[in-house]
Amino acid sequence: MLDSTYFSERQAKEAARLSDVLVVLMDSKIAPQQERFSFVYEIWQQLLPPELSRHCRIDAISNGQLKVLVDSSSYMYQIQLCKTDILAGLKSYCPQFRITKLKLSVG
């Protein structure tokens, strides 16, 4: 029969290892992506009128597509109306991302 100290020591070692893995993940994967995409976020905020930018957020960038979540269909429609100008601005200021499509969804 195992005593309870075995499990608590083992759990402490596993928790310490998990935290090490999370730190490495944050430093190597998440932080660089966040830094890279923060530029797109800043440009997005500049391209949209303040009233619209308060009602949407960038969800993802992949394969030349910027996915944006909007909090209501009425704001989604307003963004859709200026979609061409937004894409032109993103292409101009963020050519390295090769954004060619804007996908809007209510979320």
Reported as a pLDDT band with limits 50, 70 and 90, residue 107 is: confident
- pTM given for the model: 0.66
Q: In the chain, how many domains are there?
A: 1
- 47-69 pLDDT tens trace: 998 889 999 999 888 899 999 99
Mean pLDDT of the chain: 83
Going from the C-alpha of 33 to that of each of 27, 40, 72, 101, the distances in angstroms are 10, 11, 28, 20
CA gap 39, 49 in Å, rounded:
17
Q: What is the CATH number of the domain that holds 69?
A: 3.30.300.130
13 compared with 66, residue with greater pLDDT: 66
> 61: domain range?
4-106
